[in-house]
Structure 1
Amino acid sequence: MSCPPGPGVEQGGATRQKSSDRRRTMAAMEGGVNEREEEYVYRISTVEEWEALQKTGTTFGGDLDKSTGCIHLSKLHQVESTLQNFFLNTKSDLYLLKFDAKKLGDGLVYEAVDNSNVFPHFYGPSHSFSPLPLDAVVKAEKLVLSAGKFSCSLLN
């Protein structure tokens, strides 16, 4: 999973749709007509990332985020499949961070990662790679892995 080229630029230099147009297009792709953005977005975080975020007040995420220039997030209904597909063999303790989408502002962009999945990505207020702020975290819970399935009260 990687971010498309930064906002405003497509591969080959073409200009992207405006955010509001892109959100409408993506809502239609998901079979919905609701243009309302998600109230909350979620970050699957290692314990090290979560501790650093609490200590410094910001995080640039992990290696994947740094290499793609955006911080990967999920909608609530996407968290379980993301955990199963990318974190099942993680040795570190994991936390699920719930972010207030409004506090992330227009740096939060919903983008298609394939023909059927639209994920939230955080680029930052200037649409250049910016860290996620601690003050946007509403709740954080440790994820528990049991019988090959992750759980916490945020997922219930």
Structure 2
Amino acid sequence: MSWAMMIYKILRADEWAALQAEGETPGAPIDVADGFVHFSTAQQVRETASKHFADEEGLFVLAFDTDVLGDALAWEESRGGALFPHLYAPLRLADVRWSKPLPLGLGGHVFPDDMT
């Protein structure tokens, strides 16, 4: 079964710069430690930001199409029993649909209005 959707990865500025320079990365330190790249759906990404990136500035949110990531993408139970997308392959710059700054506002991070 194939159903495309957008999923999201939050990167710090240095992690995003490294991906742009190298073309691929094993991910952030937590990804390397866990053995897969953590992603979030549109419904999960705000909680991910507040739980793992609270008060951090200089972040970027990157969008990826699940169909492009292919069989290396697995949906696995995580926080509260919810299924989260995990990529068992390097994160590739060529797979990024778009990237946008994720500024820190008064009430937390300010996400782009057009995230779907």
Which residue identity is paired with 1:119? F
Q: Secondary structure at the match of 1:102?
A: helix
Q: In 2 relative to 1, CA 107–81 (structure 1 residues): closer, same or farther, beyond 3 Å?
A: same
Q: In the alignment, is the contact (CA less than 8 A) between 1:50 and 1:95 conserved in 2?
A: yes
Q: In 2 relative to 1, CA 145–115 (structure 1 residues): closer, same or farther, beyond 3 Å?
A: closer
Larger Rg: 1 or 2?
1
Query: If the length of structure 1 is used for normalisation, what is the TM-score?
Result: 0.67
Query: If the length of structure 2 is used for normalisation, what is the TM-score?
Result: 0.89
Q: In the alignment, is the contact (CA less than 8 A) between 1:38 and 1:75 conserved in 2?
A: no
Q: In 2 relative to 1, CA 114–44 (structure 1 residues): closer, same or farther, beyond 3 Å?
A: closer
Q: In the alignment, is the contact (CA less than 8 A) between 1:88 and 1:148 conserved in 2?
A: no
Q: CA deviation at 1:55?
A: 0.9
Q: CA deviation at 1:83?
A: 0.6
Unaligned runs of 5+ in 1: 1-34, 125-130
Aligned pair count reads: 115
Structure with higher RCO (Cα < 8 A, 6+ apart)? 2
Q: Secondary structure at the match of 2:11?
A: strand
Rounded to whole Å, the distance in 2 between the matches of 1:41 and 1:114 is 16
Q: CA RMSD in A?
A: 1.8
Q: Deviations over 1:71-116 (max 9, x none)?
A: 00001110101111110133x5100000121111100000001553
2:23 maps to which of 18, 42, 57? 57
Q: In 2 relative to 1, CA 142–43 (structure 1 residues): closer, same or farther, beyond 3 Å?
A: same
Q: Deviations over 1:40-80 (max 9, x none)?
A: 11000111111111111101111111111000000111010
User: Partner of 1:103 in structure 2?
Assistant: 68
Moved over 3 A (4+): 35-38
